[in-house]
Each structure stands twice: as structure tokens, then as C-alpha cells.
Structure 1
Amino acid sequence: MARQPGKQRSGTAKNAAPPIEIDASALPPLGMPAARFLRDYWQKRPLLIRNAFPGFESPIQPEDLAGLACEEGTLSRIVAHDRERDGWMLRHGPFDEALFPDMPHHDWTLLVQDVDKWDSDVAALLEAFDFLPRWRIDDIMVSFAAPGGSVGAHVDQYDVFLLQALGHRRWQIDASENPSPEFRNDVELKLLREFHPTHEWLLRPGDMLYLPPGVPHHGVAEDACLTFSVGMRAPSAAELLGDFVDTLAADADESLRYRDPDLAPAKDPAQIDDDAMRRAIEALNALRMNDPERLGDWFGRFVTLYRNAGEVLAPPEGAGDAARSRIEVEWDLQHGATLERHPYSRMAWRKAGRAARLYVNGQGYDLPVRDAKSVANAKGIDGAAYAALSDRGRDCVHELLQAGHYSLATGSEEEE
């Protein structure tokens, strides 16, 4: 089918829809200022961005991804399609290395989550997405597809940027107003029962497709290819409510109860009257569910834990960096060492009065604003950055080091 890109023009008519395809060569990766992208496209309409990363060369190769899929602790899947029966097979890793040489030459896909946590060159791509809050970004999933490989027509309930890294993939999307939401019930995957594409494109390395939540899409490899998927964290309202209520319940004062000191004789002993409902609401309000400070503190803890695929563990007592005294660590920092952040350590911060709260994997720390911003944004802390922190900031960093959120990298280790 023929693709149907929107017309690109410099002076669009009033109320004209923004183009659905642009070339970003002059202003990568979006081809426009970030503010315009967020205004016109973010969670509103899809966008094909040609040359989002001009001259892009993949930092990893298919064999690297296959090797990663064999490692314990990785989240990996293989999806294969039987075209004759339109059947789908799903397998979960980690996989045996002997599996891959015997895989067919077509119609299968390997997907590995959190590749940015395992490969620093892949993680470096996230800097191009700094126009988004970092705590909104979930991970970079990398998929290898043999020719004809696909995961079927589906929808995601979160924003995603699909960057073509190697080879060519043909994408179809349904950008209509009301696409069919029904799923097939004969396969393990959540595939659409009906898919009616409105647009079709062939992506080359460096091209990128942005899709808002709920846009049906289907990608098929034209040849052996790699695709990087930058996905967002988008908790459902039910997940938010469930975690918040659990937090409130865990912290609630047992003395806060339903009370009725103004109780009058019951007209009907079986009736729940309006006064009873008013008292029930008062009992709930006593939990301060609408307290902005309490909400903010809960959300900071929640969002730095949500969908965290890996755990940060403190080193065994007396082993590794935990065995070094604070004086030794600070001496190392003064002489060229760096505290490197654990790839699964998620940080964010928010203002709390005149100070700030730093959130690290569900834990909160009171810090000056400058310290919270510095620590949350730094991938590593060298001697100068450490010296610039307040006493409280240095205390926090040392505590995080002991908890495993940092490892100490010395110059001698890097040379080795």
C-alpha cells in the first residue's frame, strides 16, 4: 500500500494538522525545537522523523544482543511467526548460546529489555532525549529481527521512540480516530484482532518513529535488522491509586477511625444515611490524601521504583567499596577516582519548601536544592563534584555508596 504522509509546508494554514513526516537532518533528533514537538506531537499524533540521527552507526551488533540474552538477570524474549497458520510462539530467556546458530533465517525476533543498563554506549543515546524528564524514561529495549521478523500488530499504552539502528524495517500505523481495540484470543501475545493501517514507511538506520500511547502499529524486518525502542514509564491510574492507598494505610495512625459523637436515634437501623457517609468521608480526609507535600513525597518514592527491572544491593559487609572507610574514599576522589552510579539506580528530586528531597529507588533524602540537582543529574561524581557538595550532600553520597548505588572507579582500575 502507498504511504500517506502529511504535506510539509513552511506556512501552514490555520488549523492545519502538523506534518506526519519530517526530515531532521538540520536539527536532529526531532527536526524542530523540543517545545514545538511537545506542543504538536507529544501524546497527540505520531511522527516519522527521517535522519533523526544522521549517519547513525549502531553501538551494538546482533551477536552482542544474542550474548546479552544469554545472561542471567536480563529480560529477553523470542517471538516467532508461522505465516502459514498465522501462529505465534513466545519464549522467555535467558537463552542457551547453542540456540541461536540453529534459529531459522526468517520470521523471528529477539527482544532484550534494559540494554541501556548493560551497555554504556546504548545508554549514551538517552542524552538526546533530555527534553523529557529522565524519570519518565523507562529503558531502551533492543530487538533483532531476522528477515520477516515481527511481533505482530499491537498497541502500547505508553509513548515510544522507535530508532532504526541496523538494516531496514517496514512500519505500518493506524492513525485513524477510533482504531479497533479488540485483541486476538488465540495467541499468547496481545495482538490486535483487526489492523487497518493508514500509513506505511520503510525506515533506514538513523530514522525514528514516534508513537503516542494507543496508536496501533506493526513493524516487519525487510532484512536482518536492529531496532532501539525508547519507552516511557506510564503507570495506570489503578497502579497509582493502589500504591498510594497502600502507603497511606501503612502509615496511618490507628487512632484515626470512623467516629459519630453526633449520632441521633436511627429512623431505620438498616439504612446507611447521609450523615454516615459524611462521617466516612471525614475519616478518609483525616489521612490527608490531598496534602500536596505528602502526595509529592509518595510520588517521588513511587516513580523511582516503578518498573525497576533490576535491584541495587549493598556489597557484603567488609567487601568491595563497603570495606573502605570514608576517609579512604575521599582520598581516592581527591586523587582522580570517580563514583560511578549503578545502572539500576534511579534518581529524581523535587522541591520541599526551601530545600529539596532526593529520591533514589524509593528512598527519600533531605538535601539543599543545589545538592539534590547535582546528585540526581550526575552519572558519576568526581572529586570536584564531591567537594562542591554541602556536608549533608556528602553524607548522602557516602550513604548511597554504602548501599550500592555507586562504585568507586580509580584510575588504576580503568588502565587495567
Structure 2
Amino acid sequence: MATRTRRAPPKARTTSGPAFEVDAARLPPLGMPPAEFLRDYWQKRPLLVRNAFPGFVSPIQPEDLAGLACEEAALSRLVAHDAAHDRWMLRHGPFPEEMFPEMPDHDWTLLVQDVDKWDADVAALLAHFGFLPRWRIDDVMVSFAAPGGSVGAHVDQYDVFLLQAQGQRRWQIDASEAMGRTAPPLDFRDDVELRLLQRFNPTHDWVLGPGDMLYLPPGVPHHGVAVDACLTFSVGMRAPSAAELLGDFVDTLAADADDALRYRDPGLAPPKSPGEIDADAMERVVEALNLLRMNDPERLGDWFGRFITVYRSGGQVMPGEDARSRIEVEWDLQQGARLHRHPFSRMAWRKAKRGARLYVNGAGHALPARDAARIADNAVLDGPLYASLSEAGRDRVFELMREGHYHLDLRQDDE
């Protein structure tokens, strides 16, 4: 492997504000307390974290990623670039196994979404991001790039942590806005299927090696190119657009609306022009719409809890075939077995007027707050944790197991 390039500190260090680069060897993975990161960087300015994961060894290999990209249920893409003619090619999986040995040795990238749902070791990385609400984290996308491989200069509309897992990748970013300069132009090319920027003028240029991590807030232009064959893990956030929120919110309002709520005009006066929609009519339209407003915080919170645990769902949870009775399951838990949450099961909770609500893949369940927090916060329930739940909490866990949200692992703790 080539020696990692160590570039001079970026000129941006002379500008006001926190540094754009830190070394986290003594305080991984951020190089600072999480509260400081959230205050100074989160959705404000990019940050290169050297040694975010010191001595990092990738839990998967390129051939593992290629094998996953051949699966029907996996979401995969392949991007190739003809540098001589500046032409881009995008293909969607699943891909035939025989394709990869025939791929060229340069200028292409394989990307697979939701790898954390398929590989437990990749999923374990998310524990290091516990400084963020779990329901905000979407997935871990893994990309393999041959030397020169890239997906072009682009922007993401969500926060992302780019962890270098194998090999080296050169990252260029345009942090003009964070440096107090004019925001960069975000016009896209119209000659490619990908949303690539027409113009890209980087302010920072870094080469990342294994264990280094780049944080990017939404809207920061960036361009990554593989120096050698490399793997990059992208921890992306769930950030529904205002249009997505409004669309689902309106659908919920309409579905729950009383049909008796209608446009009314009891004070109607003879119109000057029968064909005119006058100002009084528009006031009554607003009044009719206001009847549907969700002013109740409980209803609003309930809607969002159901929405966010379904948003960008990567797969379905189906009931399993384990027919153990509850007595058997609880006995197994007492003997050291554990309940593991299904990878595609999304959970969150919130306090309610009475107790709390646990949200599981779009369904809401009333529970004591203590139970809801313990169930949502722990992807694995062991015997003591299960026993600490109230009867209502244990009832809910068993029902969730029946629905496929948990599977029982009978291996003992010391195995």
C-alpha cells in the first residue's frame, strides 16, 4: 500500500472559527467531546478527523461487497467514468457474479446501501455514533472503488460521515460558505444521469487512509477519488424533505378527517360577479383548511413517530417460524439467550401525556416511558434487561417477536 500523503494544514485554519482538521487519536471518534462537535460542527462546517478509528480494520472485504451486490434484495449501483471523454455510466444491481472479474482495473465504483442491515460487524460501527439520536441515522453505505474510481463532484442533502476503511481516497471539498465566503453554485450537469455539479472549486484537498473520517454537513460540494483500490463507509442521516413531511402529514390529515368538515358560507351575500372567487371566499377556504390543522401535540408527535420509523425503510420485517411459547422464551432468556432486533426493524419512542409511545416500523404502542426507552435504545435484550420491563413491556416484546422484530439467539454469553 502506498504511503499516506500528509498535506500541509489548509489555509482555512487562519480564518475565524473552529479548525477544519483534528487528530482524534486520543479522543476517538471525534477528537473532542460530542457536545463540542454538535455545537461547532454539526450542520455548520465540515471536519476532517484523522485517526477517528485508530488501527481500523475493515470488517468486510471488497469481494464480500461484490457478493452482496449480486443479491436481489440489496440496493446496489455501479458508476464508471470515461475520463478521456468525460462520460459517466450508471448501472443498478443486482449484478451477475461473472461481471466483476471482467471489470477494468481503474475508474469505477460499486456502491451498496444498507450494508449494516446485512452485516452485523458493519452494524456494530453505529454504536460509535451514539451522540446522535438513533432514529436520525439512516444506514451505512459501503463503496468499493478501483484506482481513479469516483462518483463525481456532487452535494448531499443530509449529514454524512465518510469513514475510510481500506486503501486511500482523495477528498476535495468546497467549504466556502463555512469560511464566510459566497456560497458555491449548485447547478447540475444536464448531460449525465447522475446529479453532478457543473462547477466545482475546492477549498480543501485531503488524502484519507484507514481510520480517517470526513464529516460533511448538508449542501457541501465534495469530490472523492480513489488513490488506490479502496473501501469507504458512508454513515448517512435520515433527513426527510419538507415536501416529504408535508405529503405524509396531509395524507394523514385527510385520512383522519371527519367528512362533515366542509367549506361553509352561512354569511353569503349576493355576488357582484357570479364568476368571481372573491376575498371573502378565500377567507372561508382558509377557515375550512384550518379545521384540519393538527393543533394537538399528541397527534402531531404520534404522526411523526410513525412516519420516521417507516421513512426510507430498506426492507420488510416478516414473522418468523419460531413457535416457542412465551414460557419457553422466558426460560431461554434466563439461561443466557438473547433477543436480537431484526436489522430492518426501526424503533423510536417519545413521552406522551400518559406514559409513552413506542414506535416500531410505523406502528405506535402505548407503554410506560421506562419500558419504551429500554426497548427502543437496545438492539439486544438479554435476560436481565427483559426481566426489568413491566408486564406491559414484556407483553409488547413478545408480540414484537411474534411479528418478526426479534429473533431468539440461544447461544450462551460465554460462547
TM-score normalised over the length of structure 1: 0.93
SS at match of 2:10: coil
Letter of the 1:28 partner, please give it.
P
Contact (CA 8 Å) 1:182, 1:194: kept in 2 or not? yes
Distance 1:375 1:334, change over 3 A: same
Q: 2:292 aligns with which of 282, 287, 291?
A: 287
Gaps of 5+ in 1: 10-14
Letter of the 2:147 partner, please give it.
P
Letter of the 1:115 partner, please give it.
V
Deviation at 1:280, TM superposition (A): 2.0
The CA deviation string for residues 252-271 of structure 1, in whole angstroms up to 9 with x for no partner, is 11111112223233343333
Per the alignment, residue 306 of structure 1 pairs with 311
Per the alignment, residue 394 of structure 1 pairs with 394
Contact (CA 8 Å) 1:106, 1:147: kept in 2 or not? yes
Q: Is structure 2 residue 384 aligned with structure 1 residue 384? A: yes
Contact (CA 8 Å) 1:169, 1:225: kept in 2 or not? yes
Q: Is structure 2 residue 99 aligned with structure 1 residue 99? A: yes
The CA deviation string for residues 141-164 of structure 1, in whole angstroms up to 9 with x for no partner, is 010111111111111011101011
Per the alignment, residue 349 of structure 1 pairs with 349
Contact (CA 8 Å) 1:301, 1:364: kept in 2 or not? yes
Deviation at 1:358, TM superposition (A): 0.5
Contact (CA 8 Å) 2:138, 2:237: kept in 1 or not? yes
Q: State how 1:146-295 maps to structure 2 within 5 Å.
A: 146-177=146-177, 178-295=183-300
Deviation at 1:414, TM superposition (A): 11
SS at match of 1:288: coil
The CA deviation string for residues 170-224 of structure 1, in whole angstroms up to 9 with x for no partner, is 0101112321211111111111111111110010111111111111110011111
Letter of the 1:20 partner, please give it.
F
Per the alignment, residue 68 of structure 2 pairs with 68
Q: Is structure 2 residue 129 aligned with structure 1 residue 124? A: no
Per the alignment, residue 339 of structure 2 pairs with 339
Contact (CA 8 Å) 1:137, 1:230: kept in 2 or not? yes
Distance 1:3 1:257, change over 3 A: farther
Contact (CA 8 Å) 1:3, 1:201: kept in 2 or not? no
2: CA distance, partners of 1:3 / 1:275: 66
Comparing 282-291 and 62-71, the one that deviates more: 282-291
Deviation at 1:241, TM superposition (A): 0.2
Deviation at 1:326, TM superposition (A): 2.3
Contact (CA 8 Å) 1:6, 1:19: kept in 2 or not? no
Letter of the 2:286 partner, please give it.
I
Letter of the 1:289 partner, please give it.
M
Deviation at 1:412, TM superposition (A): 7.8
Deviation at 1:308, TM superposition (A): 0.8
Distance 1:3 1:281, change over 3 A: farther
Contact (CA 8 Å) 1:3, 1:200: kept in 2 or not? no
1: CA distance, partners of 2:340 / 2:37: 33
2: CA distance, partners of 1:216 / 1:291: 40
What's the RMSD between the two structures over aligned residues?
1.8
Letter of the 1:398 partner, please give it.
F
Deviation at 1:340, TM superposition (A): 1.0
Per the alignment, residue 86 of structure 2 pairs with 86
Contact (CA 8 Å) 2:335, 2:412: kept in 1 or not? no
Deviation at 1:357, TM superposition (A): 0.5
Contact (CA 8 Å) 1:79, 1:150: kept in 2 or not? yes
2: CA distance, partners of 1:254 / 1:377: 40
Deviation at 1:279, TM superposition (A): 2.3
SS at match of 1:188: coil
Deviation at 1:273, TM superposition (A): 3.0
Comparing 161-170 and 256-265, the one that deviates more: 256-265
Contact (CA 8 Å) 1:159, 1:213: kept in 2 or not? yes
TM-score normalised over the length of structure 2: 0.93
Distance 1:168 1:212, change over 3 A: same
SS at match of 2:373: helix
Per the alignment, residue 35 of structure 1 pairs with 35
In the comparison of the two structures, how many residue pairs are matched? 404
SS at match of 2:206: strand
Contact (CA 8 Å) 1:304, 1:348: kept in 2 or not? yes
Contact (CA 8 Å) 1:8, 1:22: kept in 2 or not? no
Per the alignment, residue 4 of structure 2 pairs with none
The CA deviation string for residues 374-402 of structure 1, in whole angstroms up to 9 with x for no partner, is 00011121222221111111111111111
Distance 1:7 1:172, change over 3 A: closer
SS at match of 2:60: coil
1: CA distance, partners of 2:294 / 2:279: 22
Deviation at 1:30, TM superposition (A): 0.7
Deviation at 1:294, TM superposition (A): 1.2
Q: State how 1:3-14 maps to structure 2 within 5 Å.
A: 5=10
Deviation at 1:413, TM superposition (A): 12
Distance 1:271 1:4, change over 3 A: farther
The CA deviation string for residues 8-57 of structure 1, in whole angstroms up to 9 with x for no partner, is 69xxxxx9211111111111111111111111111111111111111111
Contact (CA 8 Å) 1:4, 1:198: kept in 2 or not? no
Contact (CA 8 Å) 1:4, 1:200: kept in 2 or not? no
Per the alignment, residue 23 of structure 2 pairs with 23
Letter of the 1:106 partner, please give it.
H
Contact (CA 8 Å) 1:338, 1:410: kept in 2 or not? yes
1: CA distance, partners of 2:369 / 2:17: 41
Q: State how 1:353-372 maps to structure 2 within 5 Å.
A: 353-372=353-372
Distance 1:129 1:260, change over 3 A: same
2: CA distance, partners of 1:244 / 1:278: 23
1: CA distance, partners of 2:280 / 2:196: 49
Contact (CA 8 Å) 2:79, 2:91: kept in 1 or not? yes
